[in-house]
Amino acid sequence: MDSLKEKFAAKAGPAAAEVKALIKEKGDVKLGEYTVAQVYQGMKSMIGMVTETSKLDPNEGIRFRGYTIPELREKLPKTPGGTEPLPEGIFYLMLLGELPTEEDALHIGNDWARRAIVPKHVFDVLDKLPASTHPMTQFVIAILAMQTESIFAAAYAKGVNKKEYWSYVYEDSMNLIARLPRVAAYIYRRKYKNGVHIEPDPKLDWAGNLAHMLGYDEDNMKSLMRLYMTIHVDHEGGNVSAHATHLVGSALSDPYMAFAAGMTGLAGPLHGLANQEVLSWILKLREELGGGLPSESQIEEYIKKTLADGKVVPGYGHAVLRKTDPRFTAQQDFYNNYIRPNGKDDLCEIVQMIYKVAPPILESTGKIKNPWPNVDAHSGVLLTHYGMVEHDFYTVLFGVSRALGVLASLIWDRALGHPIERPGSMTTEGIKKKIASIEAKG
Ligand code: HAX
């Protein structure tokens, strides 16, 4: 080991043990409004920002402007004869706080279709990357390559009244959302389908067109894409992708920069990349057992081994939720309504078995606060069912959907004139001194 690295290692080990002990012994001491444990452990449940578009309840799950996912599956506009909501509608709801009519959703769809042309240099940039580049890296690079089009950045450089910022952020956000399906499909077709690309179909809705450009024209895959693009949009403001977008946007970095930051966060395996991880983890289980359906006790052993190896069980747990994620339930419902009546799907069945077996094991560790499945536990097996087996692409789909929520929020951030975000921090030395002074005062 390099000498600098060696010196660091000698300090880091004992420091980590000291911090762990400090949290254990003094975690409940309050540093002002918040405890030592909250300051060290990711600011969980601290209220530190305003998000208008959605609110997460630990037990009930997400509500978008007051509406639950089952309510939205019923109330949001659909394609003629369709059964799943149009993402155009949830964007309208998040932006305006009102349920859209069919005409409102159609208006947004037409607007996005008009804005959907991706500048050629973005494809040129993607074409220069090694095909092995992870799809999320390609996605972030493409978003940044599109930044040449930023209307906000151009207006700011020219000089613009701060009251008008939101209007330029709105234009950039709408352009970005409109273009992301084409970018995502380009990455997919380039990496997995020999670069044979599919032109958009202007008659299709935003999510239906995404499925089409990816190469999936089956009606039920289009329905799945509409549901997928609706349930992944937003999860209030503190999750990594939303928070990173909000934080970077607060420096008045334009929406392309801010959204790219959010997407680099989504690419983490504890966040959006978990959907890829779940599929890899399930496939490995099947491979180890030689295929077919595992028994419950085999799943139990596999989960215990994952934990014993010091790894996380992907798709389980949450920083806020304390019950089964309603986004998981919506996908389970999709399986039961669209797929199961025509014959069981092995991978989807394995997901149902894990749902039965995993929670008690995770709970028995005594430390995992939420033993229940999150959104990522189910999404990959549904996509696989319709033939999209390239699991390292899944997080890109999550990212396309997440754009709707975080960019609606970004427009609001500028409309409300939120300032640059700059929370305070302390050193461990400072925290220890503060605890000592609090304890001395009795
Ligand atoms: N498997 C194994 N261990 C887990 C676990 C899981 N699924 N969930 C939590 N833990 C562990 C934590 O790693 C932590 O261990 P240490 O004390 O040794 O560090 C302990 O249990 C307490 O963690 P927690 O307070 O319950 O959970 P956090 O708020 O710290 O983390 C995570 C929340 C979602 C990151 C966590 O549950 C996890 O890693 N889950 C697996 C990955 C995953 O599914 N991520 C997607 C989450 C949803 C999302 O954002 N989608 O995009």
Provide the pLDDT for residue 289.
Answer: 86
Give the model confidence (pLDDT) of 280-302 as tens digits. 999 999 998 888 899 999 999 99
Is the Cβ atom of 272 under 6 angstroms away from ligand 1?
yes
Provide the pLDDT for residue 258.
Answer: 98
Q: Phi and psi for 63 in degrees, rounded to 5? A: -125, 130
Report pTM. Answer: 0.97
Q: Is residue 346 annotated as part of the catalytic site, yes or no?
A: no
Is pLDDT at 54 greater than 90 in this prediction?
yes
Provide the pLDDT for residue 31.
Answer: 92
Share of the chain above pLDDT 70, in %: 100
Catalytic residue among 134, 232, 243, 318: 318
Closest by CA to 246, choosing from 61, 393, 72, 412, is 412
Is pLDDT at 8 greater than 90 in this prediction?
yes
User: Is the model more confident about 1 or about 325?
Assistant: 325
Is pLDDT at 1 greater than 90 in this prediction?
no
Is the Cβ atom of 316 under 6 angstroms away from ligand 1?
yes
Provide the pLDDT for residue 292.
Answer: 85
Geometric angle at alpha carbon 279, from 275 and 280, rounded to 5° = 115
Q: Is residue 318 annotated as part of the catalytic site, yes or no?
A: yes
Q: How confident is the model at residue 438 (pLDDT cuts 50, 70, 90)?
A: very high
Q: How confident is the model at residue 114 (pLDDT cuts 50, 70, 90)?
A: very high
Provide the pLDDT for residue 442.
Answer: 78
Provide the pLDDT for residue 310.
Answer: 97
CA distance 413 to 208: 30
**The token pair that represents 104 in the structure block:** 């409102």
CA 369 – ligand 1 centroid, Å: 8
**Domains, the chain, ranges and CATH?**
55-272+389-415 (1.10.580.10), 274-385 (1.10.230.10)
Protein residue with least CA distance to atom 16, ligand 1: 367
Which H, E and C letters describe 333-392, residue by residue?
Answer: HHHHHHHHHHCCCHHHHHHHHHHHHHHHHHHHCCCCCCCCECCHHHHHHHHHHCCCCCHH
Protein residue with least CA distance to atom 8, ligand 1: 317
Is pLDDT at 184 greater than 90 in this prediction?
yes
Give the mean pLDDT of 335-347. 97
Q: How confident is the model at residue 424 (pLDDT cuts 50, 70, 90)?
A: very high
CA distance 158 to 173: 19
Run of H or E including 62: strand 61-64
Provide the pLDDT for residue 291.
Answer: 83
Provide the pLDDT for residue 69.
Answer: 97
8 A C-beta contact, residue 176 and residue 148: no
Run of H or E including 57: strand 54-57
CA 100 – ligand 1 centroid, Å: 36
Give the model confidence (pLDDT) of 349-383 as tens digits. 999 999 999 999 999 999 999 999 999 999 999 99
In order of 82, 109, 203, 297, the CA distances from 79 in angstroms are 5, 11, 11, 43
CA distance 123 to 119: 8
Provide the pLDDT for residue 3.
Answer: 94
Catalytic residue among 172, 234, 376, 413: 376
Provide the pLDDT for residue 311.
Answer: 97
Q: Is residue 325 annotated as part of the catalytic site, yes or no?
A: no
Give the model confidence (pLDDT) of 120-167 as tens digits. 999 999 999 999 999 999 999 999 999 999 999 999 999 999 999 999
- Residue located via tokens 């319709």: 386
In order of 5, 13, 14, the CA distances from 10 in angstroms are 9, 6, 7
Task: Kindly report the number of other CB atoms within 10 A of residue 369's CB atom.
Answer: 14
CA 367 – ligand 1 centroid, Å: 10
**The token pair that represents 292 in the structure block:** 């077919």
CA 309 – ligand 1 centroid, Å: 15
Is the Cβ atom of 368 under 6 angstroms away from ligand 1?
yes
Provide the pLDDT for residue 412.
Answer: 98
In order of 67, 86, 273, 299, 351, the CA distances from 358 in angstroms are 29, 33, 20, 8, 10
Is the Cβ atom of 19 under 6 angstroms away from ligand 1?
no
Give the mean pLDDT of 17-21. 97
Average pLDDT value for the chain: 97
8 A C-beta contact, residue 211 and residue 183: no
Protein residue with least CA distance to atom 3, ligand 1: 312
Give the mean pLDDT of 104-114. 98
Q: How far is CA 158 from the centre of its chain?
A: 34
Give the mean pLDDT of 59-69. 97
Give the model confidence (pLDDT) of 193-216 as tens digits. 999 999 999 999 999 999 999 999
The DSSP call for residue 63 is E
Ligand 1 atom with the shortest distance to the CA of 325: 48
Give the mean pLDDT of 77-104. 97
User: Is the model more confident about 120 or about 45?
Assistant: 120
Q: How confident is the model at residue 29 (pLDDT cuts 50, 70, 90)?
A: very high
